[in-house]
Amino acid sequence: MVYVLSTAVILHYFQADWWRKPRKWAAMDWLIVGIVISFAGKLADGIYWHATWSAVSEGAPLGEWMLAEGTFYNLFFRQLPIIAAAVCHLRAAWLVYASAKQKAALAVSALLIGSTIWAVTQAVALGL
């Protein structure tokens, strides 16, 4: 059911005309893009792990390889989509909030996301 609902959300917004029109994106546009990215990541992650555990339960050699490499693919199917969605959501909040105090809090959040991206790239470089 998760696969069906995730696909429905992605297709609903992919077919919408709002993202094809050349214009400056509003906060709602950034929020929707973040939602679509997070659902797409969840869908890809779910499909990968479904295939992995199916192969493992069938005793296929590919299943053991997929299980061993799962942490690497988690970076692309789980971590990076969440980071990208968070960036989109922070961009939306930045457009909505006008005060300097609120923007300072968003800047701290962006710094935390940046440090997470750095950590992920270091993990990939080290082969973790």
CA distance 116 to 83: 8
Largest CA distance in the chain: 58
Give the residue ranges of DSSP H helices in the chain. Answer: 2-15, 27-58, 61-68, 70-74, 80-96, 100-126
Q: How many domains does the chain have?
A: 1
Q: What is the pLDDT of residue 58?
A: 92
Task: Express each pLDDT in 55-108 by its tens digit.
Answer: 999 998 898 899 888 888 888 888 889 888 988 888 888 788 766 777 777 777
Task: Express each pLDDT in 84-99 by its tens digit.
Answer: 898 888 888 878 876 6
Query: Per the structure block, which two tokens stand in for 104?
Result: 């300072």
- pTM to 2 decimals? 0.72
Q: Give the residue numbers spanning the domain of 58.
A: 2-126
